[in-house]
């Protein structure tokens, strides 16, 4: 199954798997432009890094797009990344998410539907490994609570297993070193903090958040744990590795999607950015 399209809560959901392997060049260009348009609605212009600038990066991506029921206007999308297999099980990086509208409910659904798709493609009742990169306590907490056997999490005494370490290295070599424009090789600490990962070759910080501005999680323990680990001025990110156990986690996630569907907030288009951030300069590609 290469793709699937369905309606949910009055919206059109498209899941497109590894489009480079089966789409025509014209269709790839059209898909690329759709994603650029969504990102531009948030940032004020079209980004020019990773799959935004080179369709070859669609080779290992799972794209999930939420649009109007008629498909005329795209609201948000996520771009997950296949990382191959570890110990005979699929590994997927949760990747990036962009929204043209402040529709947080559908942003949550993108990843849930995407993971359901990946789970079915890899066989039911099979474990799937997941990885994540973030500097926000909210995402750090969602990954910690939403998956099993996650490292790192809010527990400062937890140590990584051999599997955590192997998947950390896989993400760095398969994804970060290929798609990020870094001034020097990646260095990951024992606690899975990657110093200066958001600092680009021109010295600018990609997504220049501070400890005060980053979205917080519902648990103050989670918030304080991540804030104590990262240097925001330096541009640190934290890498997390976890597991999706299909017999346990997936039914729970499906149930939560439909349980919370009625609570999805209405889309509200934010004001267009008036200035182009230096970290999004097309002359400085990043991912």
pLDDT value, residue 109? 83
Residue 262 has pLDDT above 80, yes or no: no
Report domain extents, the chain: 1-85+95-124+248-263, 127-245
User: Which of the residue ranges 14-18, 116-120, 187-191, 234-238 would you say has the lowest mean pLDDT?
Assistant: 116-120
pTM of the entire structure?
Answer: 0.83
pLDDT number for residue 284: 35
Asked whether the predicted pLDDT for residue 138 surpasses 50, the reply is yes
> Rounded distance, CA 166 to CA 270, Å?
40
The answer on pLDDT for 165 being more than 90 is yes
Which CATH architecture best describes the domain 1-85+95-124+248-263?
Answer: 3-Layer(aba) Sandwich (3.40)
Judge whether 93 and 171 are in contact, CB under 8 Å: yes
pLDDT in tens, 222-242: 999 999 999 999 999 999 999
The residue among 185 and 80 whose pLDDT is bigger is 80
Q: Please state, in angstroms and as integers, the Cα–Cα distance from residue 43 to each residue in 65, 101, 121, 242, 272, following that order.
A: 18, 12, 34, 31, 7
Mean of the pLDDT values across residues 79-95?
A: 93
Lowest mean pLDDT among 179-183, 189-193, 238-242: 179-183
pLDDT of residue 216: 92
Q: What is the pLDDT of residue 105?
A: 67
What's the average model confidence in pLDDT over 58-77?
Answer: 93
At residue 249, the pLDDT reads: 56
> 71: pLDDT confidence band, cut at 50, 70 and 90?
confident
What percent of the chain has a predicted confidence (pLDDT) above 70? 83
- At residue 246, the pLDDT reads 64
Q: Between 273 and 188, where is the model more confident? A: 188
Which pLDDT belongs to residue 108?
77
**What is the token pair recorded at 203?**
């010295």
How many percent of the chain have pLDDT more than 90? 52
For the residues 72-80, what does the mean pLDDT come to? 92
Residue range 17-66, pLDDT digits in tens: 999 999 999 999 999 999 999 988 877 767 777 898 899 999 999 999 99
First to last CA, the chain: 27
Determine the Cα–Cα distance for residues 63 and 58; give it in Å rounded to an integer: 9
């Amino acid at each position: 199954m290469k793709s699937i399209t369905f309606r949910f809560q009055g919206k059109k959901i498209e899941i497109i798997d590894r489009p480079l392997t089966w789409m025509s060049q014209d269709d790839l260009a059209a898909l690329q432009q759709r994603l650029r348009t969504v990102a531009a609605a948030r940032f004020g212009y079209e980004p020019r890094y990773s799959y935004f600038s080179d369709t070859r990066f669609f080779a290992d991506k799972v794209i999930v797009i939420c649009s109007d029921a008629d498909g005329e206007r795209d609201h948000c999308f996520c771009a997950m990344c296949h990382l191959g297999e570890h110990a005979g099980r699929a590994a997927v990086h949760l990747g990036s998410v962009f929204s043209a509208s402040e529709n947080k409910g559908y942003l949550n659904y993108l990843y849930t539907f995407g993971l359901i798709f990946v789970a079915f493609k890899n066989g039911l009742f099979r474990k799937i490994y997941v990885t994540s990169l973030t500097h926000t306590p909210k995402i750090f907490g969602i990954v910690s609570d939403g998956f099993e056997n996650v490292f790192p999490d809010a527990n400062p005494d937890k140590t990584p297993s051999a599997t955590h370490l192997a998947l950390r290295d896989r993400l760095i070599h398969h994804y970060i070193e290929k798609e990020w424009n870094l001034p020097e090789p990646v260095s990951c600490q024992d606690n899975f903090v990657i110093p200066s990962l958001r600092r680009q070759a021109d010295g600018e910080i990609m997504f220049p958040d501070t400890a005060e501005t980053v979205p917080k999680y519902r648990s103050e323990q989670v918030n304080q744990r991540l804030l104590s680990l990262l240097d925001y001025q330096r541009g640190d990110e934290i890498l997390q590795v976890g597991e999706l156990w299909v017999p346990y986690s997936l039914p729970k996630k499906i149930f939560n999607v439909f349980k919370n569907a009625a609570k999805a907030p209405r889309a509200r288009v934010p004001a267009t950015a008036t200035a182009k951030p230096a970290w999004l300069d097309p002359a400085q590609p990043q991912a």
